[in-house]
Amino acid sequence: MTQLKDSPTEDKKKKGNMNRRSFLKLTGLAGAALITLPSLGYVYTSNQDAAVGIILDELKYLKLDKKGVEQFVQNYFQNHYVKDSLRAQINLKSIYFLDLNIQKSEMVTKMVQDYLLSTDFFMNKMDETKTVKYMGVYTPYKRPCANPFSSFYYPQVST
């Protein structure tokens, strides 16, 4: 008796060639991984880490003391509504992860402004070459900010 040969489709399956079903499974898994992995970072990053990242990114032209930035964020979050507002937390993390323009977020713009007021940046006459150090949360009643637009803060121009 002669033995029947396998059909051509069975030969392809035996050789391990990719068929449509396995291709769709593989692309589906790859797509799920592309979506899941970044969202894990989004979920597991704390709001404070996102705030530190935003400040460091926005003021990258300055020499910032990272420990000072972290201390500012910790102090800032103690008395700020962002710790209780889910919408503010999503806003903060979205700006950090998607590298959005902070000018569209009043909360984040105010946080960066408050950080600058809480440092020695204006006391050092806005000198970008010096390391900016955190001095404590800015309170206008305890330590009013000197006028940053005063002529005392700008270098002398020879005429």
Classify residue 82: in a domain, yes or no. Answer: yes
Which pLDDT score, from 0 to 100, does residue 11 have? 52
Which pLDDT score, from 0 to 100, does residue 153 have? 57
Structural domain of residue 57, as residue ranges? 46-124
Classify residue 80: in a domain, yes or no. Answer: yes
pTM over 0.75: no
CA dihedral 55, 41, 97, 136 (to 10 degrees): -10
Classify residue 62: in a domain, yes or no. Answer: yes
Classify residue 88: in a domain, yes or no. Answer: yes
Report the alpha-carbon angle 127-157-128, nearest 5.
Answer: 10
Tell me: pLDDT of 128 over 70. yes
On the CB side of 7, CA atoms within 13 Å amount to 3
**Average pLDDT of the residues in 115-137:** 86
Classify residue 71: in a domain, yes or no. Answer: yes
Contact criterion met (CB below 8 Å) for 48 and 78: no
Classify residue 67: in a domain, yes or no. Answer: yes
Contact criterion met (CB below 8 Å) for 40 and 97: no
How many structural domains comprise the chain? 1
Question: pLDDT-based confidence at 10, cuts 50/70/90?
Answer: low
Classify residue 1: in a domain, yes or no. Answer: no
